[in-house]
Amino acid sequence: MIVRTELLGKRYRKEWIFRRVSLELTGGTSYTFVGPNGSGKSTLLQLLAGNLPQTEGKLEYIENGNILEADNWFRQISIAAPYLELVEELSLDELLTFHQTFKPFKANLTPETVAEKMFLSHARHKEIKYFSSGMKQRVKLGLAFFSDTPIVILDEPTSNLDRQGAAWYQEQVRQLSPDQLLLIGSNQPEEYEFCPNVLDVMQWK
């Protein structure tokens, strides 16, 4: 999978968040976007995920040389971010079962095994609204790590995680499939120390 941008730009009212972003992001490697708070990292990741419309420029998803229709982009992506909400009225079991109906888990993974991998087996029947902030973050990350998608996007991945949760993140992110495309937004070097491509969003101001 390749994500390609040409002169991508986003403006809110009269302020340009970034402009002239031209990238070719290729499956099988990882890219981290860094920059000061408010510099546009999260906005850029949301554009790359197709969650926000760009103001100018072009964004393409390319699979085996074919450009995918925008309506099918969501099937290619798993995303975890602090600003994305979970369905808090569901139990963890119900959430995992619901999730896999439109975004299947990787081979041989069931809701039960996914809960085990999140270290949340004890909370399978508890409603998400009763989870701590760290537990919710582990659920968001787990859905991204264990879904069968070619693209994984992680924005501020260790937000709300304690030391044990951060160690779990480090273990899981290194076990992603070697052909997946990983995009990270972060200002914490320990979140992306393994990443070979670090891009400062300030270059597109």
What is the C-alpha R_g of the chain?
17
Pair type for strands 181-185 and 197-200 = unpaired
Residue 145 φ then ψ, to 5°? -65, -40
Determine whether domain 2-204 maps to CATH 3.40.50.970: no
> pLDDT tens string for the chain (205 positions)?
999 999 999 999 999 999 999 999 999 999 999 999 989 999 999 999 999 999 999 999 999 999 999 988 999 999 999 899 999 999 999 999 999 998 999 988 999 999 999 999 999 999 999 999 999 999 999 999 999 999 999 999 999 999 999 999 999 999 999 999 999 999 999 999 999 999 999 999 9
Closest listed residue to residue 159, CA positions, set 180, 178, 182, 140? 140
Which burial class, exposed, middle or buried, applies to 118 when counting CB atoms under 10 A from its CB (0-12, 13-18, 19+)?
buried
pTM for the whole structure = 0.95
